[in-house]
Amino acid sequence: MTTRETAERGRITRDTDVPERVGELFQAFNHVADGYTFAEVMEATANVLAAAIDSFVQERGGRHADARNIAEQVFSGIRKNIEANWLRQASPDDIEVPHGH
C-alpha cells in the first residue's frame, strides 16, 4: 500500500489498493505539515501515533503489553511502506487525490 507525492509540489497520488479516505487523510496531513521542519513533523507524527495506539488499546480494555504489540506491528508496516515507496515509479493506474479534504 503506497501513497506518493510527485515532484509537482502537492500532487498526491495513491495506488489502487489504497482506500480513498486514506489518500484524503494523507493529502490533509501533507497540507497541514507544509512549512514545518522534518523534525517537527516527525515529532508530532510520533506523538499522534502513540496517542492513537494508547486510546485504541485503552478503549478496548487492553494492557500496556497490547499497546506495545500494536506499536511493533505499526513499525513493521512503516518499514514495509518505506521499502515499497523507495524505488516506486508512477503508474498509469495511480489515482490522483484531490485537494480540499
pLDDT digits (tens, 9 = 90+) for 22-59: 888 888 888 888 899 999 999 999 999 999 999 999 99
**For the chain, domain boundaries:** 3-97
Cβ burial, residue 55 (10 Å; 0-12/13-18/19+): exposed
Greater model confidence, 95 or 46: 46
pLDDT of residue 60: 97
Task: Give, in degrees to the nearest 5, the angle at Cα 32 between 5 and 26.
Answer: 40
Q: Could you report the per-residue pLDDT of 3-27, keeping only the tens digit for each?
A: 555 445 556 777 888 888 988 888 8
Q: How many other CB atoms are there within 10 angstroms of residue 17's CB atom?
A: 8
pLDDT of residue 43: 96
Start-end of H helices in 60-92: 64-86
- pLDDT bucket at 100, cuts 50 / 70 / 90: low
Torsion of CA 48, 53, 58, 62, to 10 degrees: -170
Task: Give, in degrees to the nearest 5, the angle at Cα 88 between 98 and 84.
Answer: 100
Q: Cα dist. 17→46, 85, 97, 101 in Å?
A: 25, 14, 13, 20
Average pLDDT estimate for 84-94? 80
pLDDT of residue 1: 42
